[in-house]
Amino acid sequence: MKENTQKFLLWIAVVILLLLVAYLFASGTKYQCYNGEVVDSASLCSQVKSSNTDCPVCTKTIDVEKEIAFKYQCYDGSIKDSKEDCRLNEDGTSSADLWRDVTSFSGSGNKETDTFIIKGKKFRLSYTITSDSPEYARFTIYTFIPGKEAYNSHASLDKVGSDSTVVYTGEGEYYLKINTANLQTWSVRVEDYY
């Protein structure tokens, strides 16, 4: 009888241990509050707003055995799938109003670039040219939409140095055609505003 009781208690202990392990390693949704806390429910986020606007703890990572889906609480209280989807900062200003790097290109002659995606209503092209013959240097950049023959906008630089232009054609897919004369090198940086 004593042996049966020990086996029964051992069986109960194994079941409890298995349930505890399953609970600890279960996947689920975690929420990162605007103040950096990671919690199991959005309702657990503190209602007191932090004065820290750069939020260094928001990049906190958690080591887990299984994948956990994160949700983010924005300063306006809304819940989003990514921190970038939050549209307001703590002070009420839009966090979306930032220039964000998209891609860059460089070369020494004419070039048609790969396509790139713009998410915002405008984007900026910043370009720099160098030349051994600065008085004869020519650089022209055209913005195209794939499948269309006419260009959307263009900018040019007739001197060695740097400049930039903003293109107000909205979101979509674009590529650049760059025409040059008497240049040593050129580079173009594409930034999206959203």
What are the tens digits of pLDDT across the range 119-176?
989 999 999 999 999 899 999 999 999 998 888 888 888 889 999 999 999 899 999 9
Greater confidence, 89 or 51?
89
Average pLDDT over residues 87-115: 81
Which secondary structure element, helix H or strand E, spans residue 5, and what is its range? helix 2-24
Query: Domains of the chain (ranges plus CATH)?
Result: 26-96 (no CATH), 99-193 (2.60.120.380)
Greater confidence, 106 or 58?
106
Instruction: Output b/e per residue, 50-77; b: 16+ Cβ within 10 A.
Output: eeeeebeebeeeeeeeeeeeebbbbbee
Query: CA–CA separation, 73 vs 81, rounded Å?
Result: 9
Amino acid at 142: Y
Provide, rounded to the nearest whole percent, the portion of the chain with pLDDT above 70.
Answer: 60
SS3 of 106-137: EECCCEECCCEEECCCEEEEEEEEECCCHHHC
Q: Is the pLDDT of residue 35 over 80?
A: no
The pTM of the full predicted model, rounded to 2 decimals, is: 0.53
